[in-house]
């Protein structure tokens, strides 16, 4: 039963990744149909991010009240409704409206599932879980591409993904007894070890930030997602505008970064059998340093492209290992609250830092991308080392 539930959790994370890259792949067609500037994709993205931040901050309260299984099923259902809403939209403002339930659904399922796997499964399962997100994020644009190539339009691309989400919602509803059984086993174990710690107290954000090491892990997560999303958004522009690679070639090679993350997480699952979470995070940070150095070094463009792959490989273990180590750092009773706020800080980093580099690129030069990434990485390394010392 444990393995069956794990398979269902993996499916849920594939579903989480499926819609994440749809907007980018469909927007070149969508914005022309709606008659809005191409930059308006940022408005939809920010609405989704805002909803995700709100629901992440409420994940502790919701999970303790409803349980992980119900929160996951409701969240996936909310994203399904949002996707169908997108597919039937005929105005830009309708898209903005439907972006609200999508963001709210994504944040809850992300935080709840991450905490559940951190508590119940080993580090390798966390790495493979996030590898499943990469599978979904890769498959989403592919499905959209099929709809567009068949002349069905972007609407049907969203509708196909919506149908998949409805099917998964049904699977999650039928799997609820498995979640309940697993949760009851854990609660019995907690009672046997320390009855005083088995409360259901919901921590406020202010209380969470007072916990030793909490601010450091929040900033560490902020920096990680800032680095990942800035690289993903600006890699193509860096290769094209600074390295002189043709735009269409640069776009194709920029995808190497995401391939590096997905493949890296599949490999990380096996490496975690030899290294612990802290060692994996440090290894990832070291590989990112090598990737940034490769981007800066003069010479063949192959170095810059290899740098992107290395940055992706370096990013691969950091996100899952930081999450998986949360119960060890802060205790199982506080992990859901901590992870919920971590997710909120992650999306704040995603929302703020890539646009900030856009301002720098426009005002100075896109050539500063590796140095911008290095500055973020240095802060992340410092915060992680402080966290390790405070929670040792």
Q: Is the pLDDT of residue 280 over 60?
A: yes
Assess contact for 137 and 18: CB atoms under 8 A. Answer: yes
pLDDT per residue over 157-212, tens digit each?
899 999 999 998 898 888 888 776 555 555 444 444 444 444 456 677 788 888 88
User: DSSP string of 71-136?
Assistant: HHHHHHHHHHHHHHHHHT--SHHHHHHHHHHHHHHHHHHHHHHHHHHHHHS-HHHHHHHHHHHHHH
User: DSSP string of 334-381?
Assistant: HHHHHHHHHHHHHHHHHHHHHHHHHHHHHHT-GGGHHHHHHHHHHHHH
pLDDT at position 313: 93
CA separation for the pair 389, 316 (Å, rounded): 23
pLDDT at position 247: 63
Q: Is the pLDDT of residue 65 over 70?
A: yes
Q: Is the pLDDT of residue 14 over 50?
A: yes
pLDDT higher at 75 or 193:
75
pLDDT at position 178: 78
pLDDT higher at 349 or 68:
349
Residue 23's pLDDT band (cuts 50, 70, 90): confident
pLDDT per residue over 120-150, tens digit each?
778 788 888 878 877 887 777 778 878 888 8
pLDDT higher at 338 or 227:
227
pLDDT at position 287: 96
185, 321, 326, 328 from 118: Cα distances, Å = 15, 9, 8, 9
39, 44, 366 from 238: Cα distances, Å = 19, 24, 6
pLDDT at position 94: 92
Q: Is the pLDDT of residue 273 over 90?
A: no
pLDDT at position 334: 80
CA separation for the pair 358, 294 (Å, rounded): 22
User: Which structure tokens are listed for 362?
Assistant: 């426009």
For residue 329, give the 3-state DSSP assignment: helix
59-72 average pLDDT score = 80
pLDDT at position 25: 67
User: Which structure tokens are listed for 28?
Assistant: 């070149």
CA 388 to chain centre: 23
Mean pLDDT for the chain overall: 82
pLDDT at position 187: 47
CA separation for the pair 118, 122 (Å, rounded): 7
pLDDT at position 195: 43
Share of the chain above pLDDT 70, in %: 90
pLDDT at position 251: 62
Task: Report which DSSP code applies to 179.
Answer: H
Q: Is the pLDDT of residue 388 over 80?
A: yes
pLDDT per residue over 286-329, tens digit each?
999 999 999 988 877 788 888 988 999 999 999 889 888 888 88
pLDDT at position 284: 95
Assess contact for 326 and 342: CB atoms under 8 A. Answer: yes
Share of the chain above pLDDT 90, in %: 20
């Amino acid at each position: 039963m444990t393995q069956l539930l794990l398979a269902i959790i993996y499916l849920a994370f594939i579903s989480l990744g499926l819609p994440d890259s749809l907007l980018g792949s469909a927007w070149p067609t969508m914005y022309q149909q709606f008659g809005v500037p191409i930059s308006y994709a940022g408005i939809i993205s920010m609405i989704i991010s805002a909803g995700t931040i709100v629901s992440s901050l409420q994940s502790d309260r919701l999970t303790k009240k409803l349980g992980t299984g119900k929160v996951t099923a409701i969240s996936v259902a909310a994203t399904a409704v949002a996707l169908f809403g997108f597919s039937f939209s005929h105005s830009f403002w309708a898209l903005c409206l439907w972006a609200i339930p999508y963001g709210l659904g994504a944040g809850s399922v992300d935080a709840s599932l991450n905490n559940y796997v951190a508590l119940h499964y080993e580090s390798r399962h966390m790495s493979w879980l996030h590898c499943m997100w990469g599978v979904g994020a890769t498959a989403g644009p592919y499905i959209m591409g099929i709809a567009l190539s068949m002349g069905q339009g972007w609407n049907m691309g969203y509708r196909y993904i919506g149908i998949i989400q409805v099917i998964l919602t049904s699977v999650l509803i039928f799997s609820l007894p498995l979640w309940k059984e697993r949760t009851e086993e854990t609660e019995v174990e907690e009672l046997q070890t320390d009855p005083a710690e088995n409360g259901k107290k919901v921590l406020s954000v202010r209380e969470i930030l007072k916990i030793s090491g909490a601010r450091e892990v929040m900033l560490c997560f902020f920096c990680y997602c800032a680095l990942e999303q800035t690289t993903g958004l600006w890699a193509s522009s860096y290769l094209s505008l600074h390295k002189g690679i043709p735009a269409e070639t640069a776009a194709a090679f920029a995808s190497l970064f995401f391939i590096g993350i997905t493949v890296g997480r599949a490999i990380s699952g096996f490496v975690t059998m030899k290294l612990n979470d802290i060692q994996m995070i440090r290894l990832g940070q070291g590989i990112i340093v090598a990737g940034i150095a490769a981007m800066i070094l003069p010479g063949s463009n192959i170095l810059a492209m290899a740098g992107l792959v290395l940055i992706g490989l370096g990013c691969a273990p950091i996100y899952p290992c930081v999450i998986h180590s949360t119960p060890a750092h802060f205790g199982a009773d506080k992990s859901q609250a901590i992870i919920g706020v971590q997710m909120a800080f992650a999306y704040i980093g995603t929302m703020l830092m890539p646009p900030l580099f856009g301002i720098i690129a426009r005002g100075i030069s896109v050539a500063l991308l590796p140095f911008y990434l290095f500055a973020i990485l240095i802060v992340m390394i410092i915060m992680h080392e402080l966290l390790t010392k405070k929670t040792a």
